[in-house]
């Protein structure tokens, strides 16, 4: 049975409890029984406004902002059932935890939040597993097939402080990526602006373009193989798909990348039929915003990527 939620557009004023929150997360909490796919669709189509301006999913709210929500209809509440094994998988993946912060080794194949293609993601699983936790929010994001270090804040003040660290470049992120070909030893960085397009499906597509935003990636060789190179990457900016597009732009795409890679080479090396994008958020280093202590966390490679390194010719 359908229940009317709003007969006309509604305006919600942002309070201190939502200061600094992304608009998509704000809508998830405000419109609890509206499918996330519907929420993302109304963001894409401009139905949601912040202070009369069209909102993007990544926009962050401030106290007293006016959020316009279009007329909606709400289904009878249904609780999404998340398998227990997924809850246990994430609890086993915790690398660091204190009263303010959680860092886990995100498994591959899980989106960080639910959306059009998945009814739940990492953050939804954690909220159900830790039902007593009053606050859990993603500090940053990883692509669905990217594994490794993922930070979740347990307090809004911690979330805001960590966002400042990320914006100021005070949080060092290190990734491991296996690329096709032997990376030239003198290529230590990639400086190429990136322009993002959002397709009608809602999918992001990024390309190197002179009108794009500044994007800088530091590159170091971890190990050289006969036909591949394992790289250590440190993004100095946080653009969508930055590492994947930068490496593809230099002619050395990441092994197993379905969007920016080379499928023929993936097939030739015969290691990707059961594997996935070889990109892993290996390490996070930063000063804890509450304790002032240096935090350095490393996430070991998952078995699927470790086995790839064992199979490729040395």
Please give the Cα distance from 238 to 217 (Å, whole number): 9
Chain-centroid distance, C-alpha 157: 20
Q: What are phi and psi of 26, to 5 degrees?
A: -60, -45
d(CA 229, CA 185): 11
Domains 3-74 and 84-162 share a fold: no
What angle is formed at CA 221 by the lines to CA 304 and CA 312, rounded to 5 degrees?
Answer: 40
Number of Cβ atoms within 10 Å of the Cβ of 108: 19
CA 280 to the chain's CA centroid: 12
CA distance linking residue 223 with residue 292, whole number of Å: 34
Element (H, E) at 174: strand 172-180
Nearest to 174 by CA among 85, 273, 282: 282
- Biggest CA–CA distance in the chain, Å, is 65
3-state DSSP assignment of residue 269: helix
Q: Could you tell me the two tokens for 276? A: 């996935």
CA distance 248 to 180: 9
Give pLDDT, residue 115.
63
Residue 143 bears catalytic tag: yes
Domain 3-74: which CATH class? alpha beta
Total count of residues recorded for the chain: 314
The H or E element that residue 138 is part of is strand 137-138
| pLDDT for residue 70 | 87
pLDDT value for 73: 58
Helix (H) / strand (E) containing 239? none
In the prediction, which pLDDT does 275 show? 62
Question: Other C-beta atoms within 10 Å of 31: how many?
Answer: 18
Handedness of CA 28, 34, 36, 37 (dihedral sign): negative
Per the residue annotation, which of 24, 65, 143, 266 is the catalytic one? 143
Name the stretches of the chain with pLDDT < 50: 1-5, 74-77
CA–CA gap between residue 283 and residue 264 (Å, rounded): 31
Superfamily grouping for domain 84-162: Pseudouridine synthase (3.30.2350.10)
Q: Could you state, in order of their start, the residue ranges of all structural domains in the chain?
A: 3-74, 84-162, 170-311
Distance CA 268, CA 155 (A): 48
pTM above 0.85, yes or no: no
Q: Does domain 170-311 have CATH number 3.30.2350.10?
A: yes
* Chain position carrying tokens 């953050």: 123
H or E segment at 29? helix 23-30
Q: Which two tokens stand for residue 94?
A: 């915790």
> What angle (nearest 5°) sits at the alpha carbon of residue 105, between those of residues 99 and 110?
110
Q: What's the token pair of residue 128? A: 């159900």
């Amino acid at each position: 049975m359908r229940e009317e939620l709003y007969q006309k557009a509604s305006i919600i004023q942002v309070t201190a409890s939502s200061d600094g929150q992304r608009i998509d997360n704000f809508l998830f909490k405000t419109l609890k029984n509206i499918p996330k796919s519907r929420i993302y669709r109304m963001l894409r189509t401009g139905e949601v406004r912040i202070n009369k301006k069209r909102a993007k999913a990544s926009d962050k709210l401030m106290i007293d902002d006016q959020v316009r929500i279009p007329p909606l209809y709400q289904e009878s509440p249904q609780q999404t059932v998340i398998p227990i094994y997924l809850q246990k998988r994430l609890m086993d993946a915790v690398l660091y935890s204190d009263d303010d912060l959680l860092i886990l080794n995100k498994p591959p194949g899980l989106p960080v939040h639910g959306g059009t293609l998945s009814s739940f993601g990492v953050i939804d699983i954690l909220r159900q597993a830790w039902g007593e936790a009053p606050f859990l929010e993603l500090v940053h994001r990883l692509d669905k097939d990217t594994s490794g270090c993922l930070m979740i804040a347990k307090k809004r003040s911690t979330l805001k402080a960590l966002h400042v660290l990320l914006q100021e470049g005070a949080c060092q992120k290190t990734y491991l990526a296996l690329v096709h070909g032997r990376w030239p030893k003198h290529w230590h960085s990639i400086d190429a602006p990136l322009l993002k397009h959002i397709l009608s499906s809602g999918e992001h597509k990024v390309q190197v373009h002179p009108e794009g935003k500044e994007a800088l990636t530091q590159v170091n060789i971890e190990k050289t193989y006969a036909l591949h190179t394992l790289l250590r990457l440190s993004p100095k900016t946080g653009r969508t798909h930055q590492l994947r597009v930068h490496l593809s732009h230099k002619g050395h795409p990441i092994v197993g990348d379905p969007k920016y890679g080379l499928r023929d080479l993936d097939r030739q090396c015969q290691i990707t039929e059961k594997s996935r994008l070889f990109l892993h958020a290996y390490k996070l280093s930063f000063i804890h915003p509450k304790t002032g202590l240096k935090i350095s966390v490393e996430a070991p490679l998952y078995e699927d990527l470790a086995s790839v390194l064992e199979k490729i010719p040395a």
